[in-house]
Amino acid sequence: MDRLSEMILGLRANAVVTGRFTLRAPWSYQKERLSGVLFRICQGAPYFIRVANEDPVKVAPGDVVLFPQGAPHVISSDLTSPIISFDEVLAQHGIVPRFDSTLIIEAGGSGEATILHTAIAAFPDAHRHPLFAVLPPFIHIRASNPAIAPSLRATIQNFIEESMTCQIGWAAAAARLSEVLFIQVVRMYLVEQSAGRGNWLQGLFDPQIGRTIVAVRRQPGEHWDLARLAAVAGMSRSRYSARFVELVGQPPMAHVKDMRMYVAATELAASAERVTTVAEMVGYKSEKAFSRAFKQWSGVAPTTYARRSSSPTDSVELLPV
């Protein structure tokens, strides 16, 4: 298994809100920060996306855009129309987003239509996963890009169909397809970026540092210290520590703690294991020490986290697509 697959194995969406928006020119909407990963697929007329401190980006039909952290942005048919809040559009239509239904809205003027198929996929504690931490706020995969594989196009089409039909089992199907779509888009992004320039990804693809990142992911319960990590990398402790900070942006043991907590969160959310068992799984002999570290990392106690994770509507704030 390749290193990227090792790191994202087990990444799961626990809820998806989907929608189809038919927007006729002229239109311009401010989208606030969302509590999930936002996908958007365009049909019809092209449109523009503006993210803070970035130049406007024109999005063509068939393009896929991804907001890994749900960053605020503006979408518009042109660059001169006055901007209004998209929340106002929802309020005008009397719409409250729900996990068990698809949002269908027509808005804007009387000009050419842009059809946006959108979704928010809720990945619990995604903002703490090392992959999400280094992805840019906005990823744009162009339909004209020859690197886009046919499988990505098929996934997109299946995702649209499943999210719009609302047939039996559609919510589970949409959640699973959103995971595949997310991974596919990230893979395409990494291809475009020459296999991952950036802090954590740069460390992952470094022959020596990457070896230790994967080792910790595979065996979070091992007794990891600086000396052992350096030995796995085949480097001196001082050289290893300096190189790790240079590439990853944090000290090695801070990364070990973060990875242990993320693995623990995954186990708490997906199984009925006791807190003591999960603590031992990630290298803690004391349940009290583990609970203290987990609360510092997540903001809640392990038992509270497990209880909230049992229901998507409890663990994820529902916001408009």
Residue 315 domain-assigned? no
The last residue of a domain, from among 166, 192, 218: 192
How many domains in the chain?
2
Can you give the pLDDT at residue 178? 82
Can you give the pLDDT at residue 197? 47
Do 279 and 223 fall within a single domain?
A: yes
Q: How confident is the model at residue 295 (pLDDT cuts 50, 70, 90)?
A: very high
Contacts 24+ apart (CB under 8 A), 189-196: 189/66, 189/135, 189/139, 189/141, 190/4, 191/147, 192/141, 192/145, 192/147, 196/4
Do 249 and 211 fall within a single domain?
A: yes
pLDDT digits (tens, 9 = 90+) for 35-90: 788 988 888 999 999 998 788 999 999 888 999 888 999 999 999 999 999 988 88
Using alpha carbons, select from 20, 46, 35 the residue that is nearest to residue 162: 20
CATH number of the structural domain spanning residue 20: 2.60.120.280
Residue 182 domain-assigned? yes
Residue 148 domain-assigned? yes
Do 177 and 204 fall within a single domain?
A: no
Mean pLDDT of 210-214: 89
Do 175 and 244 fall within a single domain?
A: no
Can you give the pLDDT at residue 193? 61
Using alpha carbons, select from 241, 257, 318, 316 the residue that is nearest to residue 290: 257
The last residue of a domain, from among 192, 212, 236: 192
Rounded to 10 degrees, what is the CA torsion of 49, 51, 151, 192? 120
pLDDT digits (tens, 9 = 90+) for 154-200: 777 677 777 777 777 777 777 888 888 888 888 777 766 654 444 56
CATH number of the structural domain spanning residue 224: 1.10.10.60
DSSP assignment, residue 17?
E
Do 88 and 174 fall within a single domain?
A: yes
Do 281 and 303 fall within a single domain?
A: yes
The last residue of a domain, from among 145, 175, 192: 192
Do 52 and 171 fall within a single domain?
A: yes
Do 38 and 162 fall within a single domain?
A: yes
Residue 314 domain-assigned? no
Can you give the pLDDT at residue 60? 93
Do 142 and 279 fall within a single domain?
A: no
- More confident of the two residues 316 and 308: 308
Do 180 and 204 fall within a single domain?
A: no
Residue 43 domain-assigned? yes
CA dist 176 and 153 (Å) reads 16
Whether the per-residue pLDDT at 321 is higher than 50: the answer is no
Q: Which domain holds residue 209?
A: 199-309
